[in-house]
């Protein structure tokens, strides 16, 4: 149990960093003028939402395990 609790801050950091990377990649794709980038923009938006959900779930798990 303490091993998982010790690893959770690192997992939260990795998930948050991945969210930021995907966010900026989506902004870069959205800023370009090509019409085929709409597909990649939507794909990156879905990845961002999923990574945000993962980050929030890991934070909730971290608080839940640290309170017990």
pLDDT confidence bin for 12, thresholds 50/70/90:
very high
Task: Look at residue 68 in the predicted model and tell me its pLDDT.
Answer: 67
Task: Look at residue 20 in the predicted model and tell me its pLDDT.
Answer: 97
Prediction pTM value: 0.85
- Between CA 14 and CA 54 the distance in angstroms is 11
Q: HSE-up of 65 (CA within 13 Å, CB side)?
A: 15
The tens digit of pLDDT for each residue in 23-62 reads 999 988 888 877 677 788 889 999 999 999 999 999 999 9
CB 4 within 8 A of CB 26: no
- Between CA 57 and CA 27 the distance in angstroms is 24
Task: Look at residue 48 in the predicted model and tell me its pLDDT.
Answer: 96
Give the residue, 42 or 15, on which the prediction is more confident: 15
């Amino acid at each position: 149990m303490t091993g998982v609790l010790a690893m959770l801050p690192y997992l939260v950091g990795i998930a948050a960093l991945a969210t930021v990377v995907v966010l900026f990649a989506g902004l870069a794709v959205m800023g370009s003028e090509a019409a085929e980038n709409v597909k990649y923009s939507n794909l990156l938006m879905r990845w961002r939402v999923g990574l945000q959900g993962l980050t929030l779930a890991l934070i909730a798990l971290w608080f839940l395990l640290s309170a017990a």
